[in-house]
């Protein structure tokens, strides 16, 4: 349980990079790291409480985290930077 607490605290520290990050890539990476740390905490809680239901939730959350990261990265690669350069 202590490891899950340390990882959760570390995720809150990553919020600093998501808010202050100088570039959009830094913010996207920070949000992805926060999602991954939340996933690890859910898996650790699954292990601690011996509940397989939480593992299913963790798998869906991991897929959702990956899809959102890929979609946002793709958007920034194609459309996002063009809008910023025009300003």
Query: Residue 86 pLDDT > 90, yes or no?
Result: no
What's the pLDDT score for residue 22?
A: 83
| Residue-range definition of the domain harbouring residue 59 | 2-86
Alpha-carbon distance 72 to 75, whole Å? 5
Q: What is the mean pLDDT of residues 50-56?
A: 87
When divided into structural domains, the chain yields a total of: 1
Count the Cβ atoms, other than its own, within 10 Å of residue 42. 18
Burial level of 30, CB count in 10 A (0-12/13-18/19+)? buried
Structure token digits, residue 32: 């992805």
Cβ–Cβ under 8 Å, residues 61 and 38: yes
Alpha-carbon distance 87 to 77, whole Å? 17
Question: Ranked by mean pLDDT, which of 8-12, 18-22, 53-57, 62-66 comes out on top?
Answer: 62-66
- CA–chain centroid gap for 7, Å, is 13
Q: Which residues contact 42 (CB under 8 A, 6 or more apart)?
A: 54, 57, 58, 61
What's the pLDDT score for residue 67?
A: 93
């Amino acid at each position: 349980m202590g490891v899950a607490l340390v990882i959760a605290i570390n995720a809150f520290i990553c919020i600093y990079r998501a808010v202050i990050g100088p570039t959009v890539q830094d913010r996207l990476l920070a949000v992805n790291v926060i999602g991954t740390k939340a996933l690890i905490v859910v898996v650790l809680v699954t292990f601690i409480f011996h509940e397989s239901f939480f593992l299913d939730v963790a798998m869906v959350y991991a897929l959702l985290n990956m899809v959102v990261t890929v979609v946002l990265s793709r958007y920034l690669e194609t459309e996002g930077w063009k809008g910023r350069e025009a300003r």
